[in-house]
Amino acid sequence: MTLQGSFCSHVNGRFHHRTVDVHATSLRLVRFKGRGDPSSINHPSARGAKAETKIIKGEVNLTASKSESNRVLIIRALCEKHFPIHNLAAAKDTETMVELLANEGTIKDVGPAGTTMRFLTAFYANTPGKWVLTGSERMRNRPIAILVDALNKLGAKIKYLEKEGCPPLEIEGGNLKGGKISIDGSVSS
């Protein structure tokens, strides 16, 4: 299983687009050098760019943030090979994520954990089965429509069980078809 993330940096007047592939216990860094807007690998500055590929093996030290901790928990859940995680955040969101990923039930109550709700919505949309994600009264009033709409465009089957645009959600998980989507980045979370 390969998970991919990317980031961009601007050094000496040049944009550098880097892609990180996570293979259970190793990382592969691919660096594209070019000028212009690095937000897309399809940007003219990246087309025809020469890629440097190197395999990096080792450990990644987490900073113990709840966001990073929840991301690595999802990565491990997606991987075929279990790997140890050290230095997880001592945050309620992270504790909830650990508990819910270990729980084999189909109804998942995230309580007030917004990070956990968003990450598990995407995770269960791509996990075969029928799932219900719910939460505290406050969580049931927090908007999640932008994420749900994006996942549904990728082939997910998610519907609202109460208030339109908010949890609880019923998710019929399966393999997402993928594709390109746009999400408004000005909205928090």
Higher-scoring residue by pLDDT: 103, 31: 103
In this predicted model, what pLDDT tens digit does every residue of 61-99 receive, in sequence order? 777 888 999 999 999 999 888 888 888 999 999 999 999
Whether the predicted pLDDT of 3 surpasses 50: no
pLDDT score for 12: 39
pLDDT score for 51: 63
Whether the predicted pLDDT of 101 surpasses 90: yes
Higher-scoring residue by pLDDT: 146, 35: 146
**Contact predicate 130/171, CB 8 Å:** yes
Residue that has been written with the tokens 């082939």 in this structure: 155
Query: What average pLDDT does the segment 35-50 reach?
Result: 49
- Taking the C-alpha atoms of residue 32 and residue 48, their distance in angstroms, rounded to an integer, is 10
- Taking the C-alpha atoms of residue 88 and residue 69, their distance in angstroms, rounded to an integer, is 5
Higher-scoring residue by pLDDT: 180, 118: 118
Whether the predicted pLDDT of 36 surpasses 60: no
DSSP state at residue 50: P
Mean pLDDT across the chain: 78
pTM for this predicted structure: 0.69
pLDDT score for 11: 39
pLDDT score for 179: 86
Q: Name the nearest CA neighbour of 72 among 108, 97, 103.
A: 97
pLDDT score for 50: 60
Whether the predicted pLDDT of 53 surpasses 70: yes
Q: Which long-range contacts (CB under 8 A, 24 or more apart) does 176-185 make?
A: 176/125, 176/126, 176/151, 178/154, 179/153, 179/154, 181/150, 181/153, 181/154, 183/146, 183/147, 183/150, 184/146
As a whole-number percent, the residues of the chain with pLDDT over 70 amount to 70
List residues bridging with 2 in a β-sheet. Answer: none
Kindly calculate the radius of gyration of the chain based on its CA atoms and give it in whole angstroms.
18
pLDDT score for 17: 39
Which of the residue ranges 1-5, 17-21, 161-165 has the most confident prediction, judged by mean pLDDT?
A: 161-165
